[in-house]
Structure 1
Amino acid sequence: MPASVKNAFRKPEPWSALAPMLVDVAMGRKAADLVVRNGRWVNVHSGEVIPGTDLAISGGRFAYCGPDASHAIGEKTKVVDARGRYLVPGLCDAHMHVESGMVTVTEFCRAVIPHGTTSMFVDPHEIANVLGLEGVRLMHDEAAVQPINVYVQMPSCVPSAPALERAGAEMGAKDVTEAMDWDNIIGLGEVMNFPGVVQNDSTMVGEIAATMEAGKTVGGHYASSDLGRPFHGYVAGGPADDHEGTRVEDAIARVRQGMKAMLRLGSAWYDVASQIKAITEQGLDPRNFILCTDDSHSGTLVEEGHMDRVVRHAIEQGLRPVTAIQMATLNTAQHFNLERELGSIAPGRVADLLIVSDLPALAIDEVYARGVRLARNGKLEADVPAYPYPARVKKTVRLGKRLNAADFDIPAPRAAGRVKARVIGVVENQAPTRALTAELRIEKGVVSMDRRNDVCQIALVERHRGTGGVTNGFVSGFGYTQDCALASTVAHDSHHMIVVGTNKSDMAIAANRLGQVGGGVVMVSQGRELALVELPIAGLMSDERAEIVAGKAAKLADAMREMGCTLNNAYMQHSLLALVVIPELRISDVGIIEVTAFRTVDLLLPS
């Protein structure tokens, strides 16, 4: 590995230690390590583009930003001619889950660096729900050795809703208090238990208080359309941001209450276009809006991009390019109290820089982090070695028994006839589901699915403690037309196993296959395996390179389409069907969950 790239893995010294050197470089008394000349400075502080700008970088930080840095050039200074291209701050993802990419932190970084992401604020609550505090610590330590800035939010809700699900681990205020002293913890992850905050649940109150006392940021997650008293109570409880809005009124309400509205464009969540109207049509101050991804699939990262994709989309919705860039850089840094550290091109800040040839299209030619070029023309130049995970975290799928088709039978109240059942309705490109009902046939005392009307079966298989438990239900929206089953050990947030299928035998085969390989995602049709993505680390992440995982994920997507599914990024929809903190209807290891009322309900309705 070249020495220059090795240096990128070393975080810059604190500004206080480098300040005298930065002053000397700015004054011409010392030579810079790198000078970028003749660029157009996208200044996110002033909101303007300044032509004819030079940048001088030393010790991984900007020392000089102005019209002529020739005084900072010495014999050993590397000089780059920007040739009139735009100088853009490295992009920040304000809220995201690495595990949703099916890869480790290291592989996620390798995938997104060529797309201009140089800072990420990650909430590892997926691995926390499987491995508890040990899982958080593993990802925290991996994040700390990356060539870009990866800050970690301590998960707040493990499990996400204690009365409605049983995860693989439990954490509380004591764990949060301990983690706040870790070097790379930036705040508290999304507080999903919004009823707990409103009801002053002692765990939620304790976790938020511990974060506030540490002077760190509390992340929000208010997944309800009710903007009345519960919303006001939630805001009063301390969360400082929220990414769960889907309507323009959601964004407006959050900003008016002093929160930051995080607008997300992930692989399957398209919430920017509707909410950006708060700025483009209602004229609200864009300083209080932040762009993020939340969940990005490995295929999206490799094929479409990351935060560059979000910024382009925001520009397409009518935002000025500089405003969109502010919402993905400076606004994020300010929110996490890091304005003097990152999020802009300005003296003293970490030298995270993009050289961009087309600003509205955000065509990224070169990516620098800490003053070192890591990617060029969409290709990673840095050799980022794989990060080893211990063997014990690859043995987390415990089914307790070998499943068969009968485990997915739904007993009926009588031998024949029809019965009304609750059905989880998938909503394309959004996280919420609909609470539907369907009239279904009873055959030999078992309720049948209705493939003609797109009602197939869903099952949640307990996989943490080996109880052999199976919760059965119905789901609509995937459009499967063939005999098939898709099983996944990624099942936000408790991460049991979700199986969706039109054929019970295939459902059993798919579930048993994941037990055999230690977790992942598999599609089976008529007993034949069509696609498999192995995810041995906690049943959530691969230990392979991101490009390999993306290739397997693409084969999975092809198999889903072959079975009749036309949903955009349908796997992401599949993986959220157990998320009991987002309305309306979900499935968990304790039953069918009506999220709007935060209660379990019967699958079958009275005649």
Structure 2
Amino acid sequence: MQRPWHQSAPQLVDVAMGRRPADLVIRGGQWVNVHSGEIIPGTDIAVAEGRFAYVGPDASHAIGPQTQVVEANGRYLVPGLCDAHMHVESGMVTVTEFARAVIPHGTTSMFIDPHEIANVLGLPGVRLMHDEAAGLPINVYVQVPSCVPSAPGLEHPGAELTPDDVREALTWPNIIGLGEVMSFPGVIANDPKMTAEIAATMSAGLTVGGHYASPDLGRPFHAYAAGGPADDHEGTTADDAVARVRQGMRAMLRLGSAWHDVAAQVKAITERGLDSRSFILCTDDSHSGTLVHEGHMNRVVRHAIAQGLKPVTAIQMATLNTAQHFGLERELGSIAPGRRADLIVTSDLVDLPVEMVFARGRLMAKGGVLTADLPEHPYPETARNTVHLGRTLSAADFDISAEAAEVTARVIGVVENQAPTRALERRLPVRDGTVQMDPAGDVCQIALVERHRGTGAVVNGFVSGFGYDRPCAVASTVAHDSHHMIVVGTDKADMAQAANRLQEVGGGIVVIAGGEELALVELPIAGLMSDERAEIVAAKADRLVQAMRDCGCTLNNAYMQHSLLALVVIPELRISDMGLIDVTRFERVEVILPDPQPAA
């Protein structure tokens, strides 16, 4: 456990003065100073007690017989990267395995909101992830989930968190604030639950995370900002980013596996000249395939630079800005005396190859390979066996009945690379009293299968945008945020087989085509996470993506789109265990619209 700065300060002073040798000295680097915005050549760094003790032109006075000396050879010295908003569960691995995957990419600090596991296991699930995070050799702070369920009255999760639960969790040592407040209607209406949770967090001096998913930037947006959320990651346009920053919020620009919101919003800086200090980079949701093959926050920084940001500015938005936002500027986010000795050694600030990673002064990764030992963290049996359908499903469970020869149906429209959906309407034929899909028109079925209480309930609807062109089905117990089971398919027998298969393995994602299992990712921990290594899960996820492509799907990271179709706090149309939900009005609507009455 690293000691606080005030306890280590005398030793740091001695190292800086040359009265005591450093534990580590890195010589001859180019210091990326995120405080001043400079790149300072010929810089040495001395580290003691896991903190920076000296950053200057010559640290030879701090080198003793036992000091580890690393030659930077003119390479850049960059603060360890911070992910300001993310959900570990989206990586389909545990906190430890997530850290194992991202450390080689230069991520040394994460701010996680475990509201996925909270929807399945409640406060005990949050505590499991909190305690695991606290034991890691990098900085993993936890935000208390604020909206479990995300939309009361429109869904039933496996568990709920009350204001009393939030108040209790705010006393835990590794809590940094309140997780994204998704119930923006609740904030706007002064809902007692939301008001109590925000007040408790602000009273504790911690940060309230935001989630304003409405395009309405009028009075409701102003009311939301007045309610207390300090940031927001749901913007998709430059106007969204500008609006948030003008109201004193931090605009979090995300590049996850499927959410590509940086390019549009960063124009608020590059074209409209806003101060970059109010902007932060994050990932939100990254699955294991992205982490293993493409990177993590280094990927986001590279992308931001490619959109026209200066490298130092992009790095500030992934380091110092994040630390300042969470009140941790004196601990994280920069290479400066007293801060935790988290840094990256890289030879190129644009492509950002991560050649060495240090966390708290310890070498963690070199050449893209983890060098530190992170012991496995087992989860108890109470976190397993959480998929309870109550029965075996059949193809008939996915029938949608109608009496007319043809009907107009509401259809969820998937929007590639964005979280919002569109509310579509399509004319569909009816055969033998059952509404038919329209594969030629890219309309297939979606079902929400209740999986927490074993009720056997199935809610059916239609979805467009996946492009499936053969008999198939994809089922997942990752179904944000209540995490029932989402099944999407063009063949009802395959849909039933997929749902039953996930009940059999205790959760995960499966692709069935013509009765054949093409891919399976087992997620036995709360139906959300694997207990295997990230690279193993990534290989299974690769097979999953390929199987979806083999079924005709061309969407980028279609699985992530699939998993959010039950998120009833993001417009326009979603599905829950209570039915089809119009998220522009926050009310349940019928799948089949009434036919207009002929004029008299």
Is this a same-fold pair by TM over 0.5?
A: yes
Q: How does 1:247-258 map to 2 (within 5 A)?
A: 247-258=237-248
Q: CA deviation at 1:92?
A: 0.0
The residue identity in structure 2 corresponding to 1:522 is V
Q: Deviations over 1:516-560 (max 9, x none)?
A: 000000000111100000000000000111010000000000100
Query: Which structure 1 residue ranges, 4+ long, deviate > 2 Å from structure 2?
Result: none
Give the match for residue 488 of structure 1. 476
Q: Deviations over 1:166-201 (max 9, x none)?
A: 000011210111011100000000000000000000
Give the match for residue 150 of structure 2. 160
- The correspondence for 1:202, drawn from 188, 192, 200, is 192
Q: Distance in 1 between matches of 2:371 and 2:160?
A: 40
Report the TM-score when normalising by structure 1. Answer: 0.98
Q: CA deviation at 1:142?
A: 0.4
Q: Distance in 1 between matches of 2:504 and 2:6?
A: 53
Q: Distance in 2 between matches of 1:125 and 1:65?
A: 39
Q: Deviations over 1:360-416 (max 9, x none)?
A: 11111100000011100111111212101001211110001100000000011x1x5
Q: Does 1:470 align with 2:442?
A: no
Structure 2 gaps, min length 5: 596-600
- The correspondence for 1:175, drawn from 161, 165, 176, is 165
Q: Distance in 1 between matches of 2:198 and 2:545?
A: 39
Q: Counterpart of 1:261 in 2: which secondary structure?
A: strand
Give the match for residue 50 of structure 1. 40
The residue identity in structure 1 corresponding to 2:8 is L
Q: Does 1:37 align with 2:27?
A: yes
Give the match for residue 543 of structure 2. 555
Q: Does 1:508 align with 2:496?
A: yes
Q: Distance in 2 between matches of 1:450 and 1:385?
A: 50
Q: Distance in 1 between matches of 2:162 and 2:322?
A: 27
The residue identity in structure 1 corresponding to 2:318 is A
The residue identity in structure 1 corresponding to 2:293 is E
Q: CA deviation at 1:597?
A: 0.6
Q: Does 1:518 align with 2:506?
A: yes
- The correspondence for 1:443, drawn from 410, 414, 431, is 431
Q: Distance in 2 between matches of 1:499 and 1:570?
A: 13
Q: How does 1:53-72 map to 2 (within 5 A)?
A: 53-72=43-62
Q: Distance in 1 between matches of 2:88 and 2:357?
A: 21
Q: Does 1:309 align with 2:305?
A: no
Give the match for residue 593 of structure 1. 581
- The correspondence for 1:337, drawn from 317, 327, 334, is 327
Q: Counterpart of 1:183 in 2: which secondary structure?
A: coil
Q: CA deviation at 1:329?
A: 0.1
- The correspondence for 2:208, drawn from 199, 204, 218, is 218
Give the match for residue 15 of structure 2. 25
Q: Does 1:82 align with 2:72?
A: yes
Q: Counterpart of 2:285 in 1: which secondary structure?
A: coil
Give the match for residue 103 of structure 2. 113
Q: Distance in 1 between matches of 2:50 and 2:382?
A: 37
- The correspondence for 2:269, drawn from 279, 286, 300, is 279
Q: CA deviation at 1:358?
A: 0.6
Q: Distance in 2 between matches of 1:229 and 1:97?
A: 30
Q: Distance in 2 between matches of 1:184 and 1:102?
A: 22
Structure 1 gaps, min length 5: 1-10
The residue identity in structure 2 corresponding to 1:43 is N
Q: Deviations over 1:6-54 (max 9, x none)?
A: xxxxx32000100000000001110000000000000000001000000
Q: Deviations over 1:68-119 (max 9, x none)?
A: 1011111111111100000000000000000000000000000000000000
Aligned alpha-carbon RMSD (Å): 0.5
Q: Distance in 2 between matches of 1:12 and 1:319?
A: 35
Give the match for residue 137 of structure 2. 147
Give the match for residue 409 of structure 2. 421
Q: Distance in 2 between matches of 1:507 and 1:63?
A: 60
Q: How does 1:255-404 map to 2 (within 5 A)?
A: 255-404=245-394
Give the match for residue 554 of structure 2. 566
Give the match for residue 246 of structure 1. 236
Q: Distance in 1 between matches of 2:22 and 2:472?
A: 61
Q: CA deviation at 1:123?
A: 0.1
Q: Distance in 1 between matches of 2:456 and 2:361?
A: 53
The residue identity in structure 2 corresponding to 1:433 is T
Q: CA deviation at 1:417?
A: 1.0
Q: Distance in 1 between matches of 2:382 and 2:86?
A: 26
Q: Using the aligned pairs only, state the percent identity.
A: 75
Q: Distance in 2 between matches of 1:60 and 1:144?
A: 16
Q: Counterpart of 2:592 in 1: which secondary structure?
A: coil
The residue identity in structure 2 corresponding to 1:349 is R
Q: CA deviation at 1:486?
A: 0.2
The residue identity in structure 2 corresponding to 1:138 is L
The residue identity in structure 1 corresponding to 2:458 is V
Give the match for residue 4 of structure 1. none
Q: Counterpart of 2:354 in 1: which secondary structure?
A: strand
Q: Distance in 2 between matches of 1:363 and 1:507?
A: 43
Q: Does 1:127 align with 2:121?
A: no
The residue identity in structure 1 corresponding to 2:84 is A
Give the match for residue 566 of structure 2. 578
The residue identity in structure 1 corresponding to 2:592 is L
